[in-house]
Amino acid sequence: METIKVHIQKIAGNEDIPLPKYMTGQAAGMDIFAAVPSDETILPGQRRKIPTGIAIALPEGYEAQIRPRSGLAIHQGITLLNSPGTIDADYRGEIALIVINHGVESFIVQRGMRLAQMVISKVCRTQWVESSNLDETVRGNGGFGHT
According to the model, what pLDDT value does residue 126 have?
Answer: 95
Residue type, 18: P
Angle (nearest 5°) at CA 47 between 24 and 54: 45
- Distance from the Cα of residue 8 to its chain's centroid: 16
Alpha-helical regions (H) of the chain: 70-76
28 contacts: CB under 8 Å, gap ≥ 6: 119
CA distance 37 to 125: 39
The domain over range 7-122 is classified in CATH as 3.40.50.360 = no
pLDDT tens per residue across all 147 residues of the chain: 889 999 999 999 999 999 999 999 999 999 999 999 999 999 999 999 999 999 999 999 999 999 999 999 999 999 999 999 999 999 999 999 999 999 999 999 999 999 999 999 999 999 999 999 999 998 888 888 777
Q: Global pTM?
A: 0.90
